[in-house]
Structure 1
Amino acid sequence: MALFLIGLLAPQLAAQQSLPPAPYAYRQLEDPAKEAEAQALMETLRCLTCQSQSIADSDAAMAGDMRHQVRTRIAAGETPEAIRAWLVERYGDYVSYAPVVSETTWPLFAVPLLLAAGAGAILWRRLRRAR
């Protein structure tokens, strides 16, 4: 029964992989200033299917769709920060290479500082005792 269902769904799954890329996935905007703005933003966004590549560098279909979204929204006049906020809301904080301190991420920023302060205090005490 399971093989029958897989055989029945295989053409639909294969069709999803063979869709053409979004129009702005590989085509730049005509306005050089807007394309530069889009490119700068794309270099700070992480591809969700690659291993830490930016969407500007990735050839994954997901990255192409994200490049299309960025270029379309830049062409429509949205600011890069509004586009970043929309992508973070949609995909989570992981999509951005520029992390934001929030209620859930502050320990990621505070713990290394506390560890460095603790190591500095230990080093200071040992040096003081050595004299």
Structure 2
Amino acid sequence: MTRALAFAAALVVALPVAAQQTMPPAPFAYRQLENPAQEQAAQELMETLRCLKCQSQSIADSDAPMAGDMRHQVRTRIAAGESPDQIRDWLTKRYGDYVSYKPTVSTTTWPLFAIPLLLVLLAGAILLRRFGRRK
């Protein structure tokens, strides 16, 4: 009985270790491009892309395996001659608008731009109406 409990306890402890990612990081996850201009463009783009696992860090700052894969994709595509805008569009299509810290106006993101403007207009109308009565 004690052997069975000891085996079960060892199994419970060993399962999370076995679930760890054993794949090595992508080649360009931590290695920079040889061309300084391309690396600069890649770095600037990576700072504007959100790590989907960490959610509060850019892929340039995150150590998550997914962020490493995204850095690899950015550097590979920059080295292949794609522009940062093309890469951002590809990542947005793949992961959704949430991946970008710099959203563009689209059918899904227009409230991000419209609601603050509407709130400012509403506050202005309220202030005009309130101070207009006093005169």
Deviation of the 1:111 alpha carbon:
1.6
| 2:97 alignment counterpart | 93
Partner-residue secondary structure (3-state), 1:35: helix
In 2, distance between residues paired with 1:51 and 1:99? 15
| Matching residue within 103, 106, 110 for 2:107 | 103
- Percent identity between matched residues is 74
In 1, distance between residues paired with 2:53 and 2:96? 14
In 2, distance between residues paired with 1:14 and 1:121? 58
| Matching residue within 120, 125, 130 for 1:121 | 125
| 1:3 alignment counterpart | none
In 2, distance between residues paired with 1:14 and 1:128? 67
Query: Which of 1 and 2 has greater Rg?
Result: 2
In 2, distance between residues paired with 1:45 and 1:107? 20
Deviation of the 1:24 alpha carbon:
0.4
Deviation of the 1:125 alpha carbon:
1.3
| 1:61 alignment counterpart | 65
**2:53 aligned with 1:49, yes or no?**
yes
TM value normalised by structure 1: 0.86
| 2:19 alignment counterpart | 14
Deviation of the 1:14 alpha carbon:
2.6
**Equivalent AA in structure 1 for residue 56 of structure 2:** S
Aligned residue-pair number: 123
Any stretches of 5+ residues in structure 2 without a counterpart?
1-11
Any stretches of 5+ residues in structure 1 without a counterpart?
1-6
Structure 1's consecutive aligned runs of 4 or more residues displaced over 6 angstroms after TM superposition are: none
| 1:24 alignment counterpart | 28
TM value normalised by structure 2: 0.84
In 2, distance between residues paired with 1:74 and 1:28? 11
Deviation of the 1:18 alpha carbon:
1.4
**RMSD over aligned Cα, in angstroms?**
2.0
